[in-house]
Amino acid sequence: MWGVRITTQSAPPDWYLTYLSAALFFARRYEESKAIRLHVPDVYVDSSFLGAALFAQMGMLEEAKRWANRGIARLAATPGGALAVAEGRVIQALLDNNPYRRQEDLDHFAEGMRKAGVPG
C-alpha cells in the first residue's frame, strides 16, 4: 500500500483523488483504489462509472450496480449523455469521451462496467 492517508486538513483536490483512484484501478490495485474512492466525493460522472467498474472487478456486484445506477442517472441529466442512455450505448459513449488511451485500460474499464450492468 502507498499508505495514503486522507484527512480534512490535508486532502488534495477531488480531481486528484479521482484520478489517483483510477490509476490504481488500472494497475489492478483494487483495495488501494477502493480506499481512496470511498473518500472522494462523487462529483464527476465518469467517477461513478469508475466506481462501478472497480466494485464489479472486485466481485462486489451489488455495490457496483449502485455506482452504475448513480452514474446512469447523472449521465442522463446531461445533453449528450441523455441520448447515450436512451440508445443503450453508455459504455461506448464513456469510452469515446475519456482521457484513457491504452487499449488494455479501456478494455478493463468496459469489462467492469459490463459486469456492473451498464448498457453497451
Residue 5: inside a domain: no
Residue 57: inside a domain: yes
Amino acid at 1: M
State the Cα–Cα distance between residues 112 and 95, nearest whole angstrom.
12
- 86-109 confidence digits (pLDDT tens): 888 999 988 888 777 889 999 999
Residue 64: inside a domain: yes
Query: 104 is written with which cell numbers?
Result: 488494455
SS3 102: coil
- Output the pLDDT for position 24: 94
SS3 88: coil
Query: 15 is written with which cell numbers?
Result: 480531481
SS3 19: helix
Residue 9: inside a domain: no
Residue 3: inside a domain: no
For residue 36, the enclosing domain spans 14-115
| pTM of the predicted model as reported, rounded to 2 decimal places | 0.83
- Average pLDDT value for the chain: 85
Task: Identify the band that residue 47 occupies on the pLDDT scale cut at 50, 70 and 90.
Answer: confident
Mean pLDDT calculated for residue range 37-45: 75
Residue 75: inside a domain: yes
Number of domains in the chain: 1
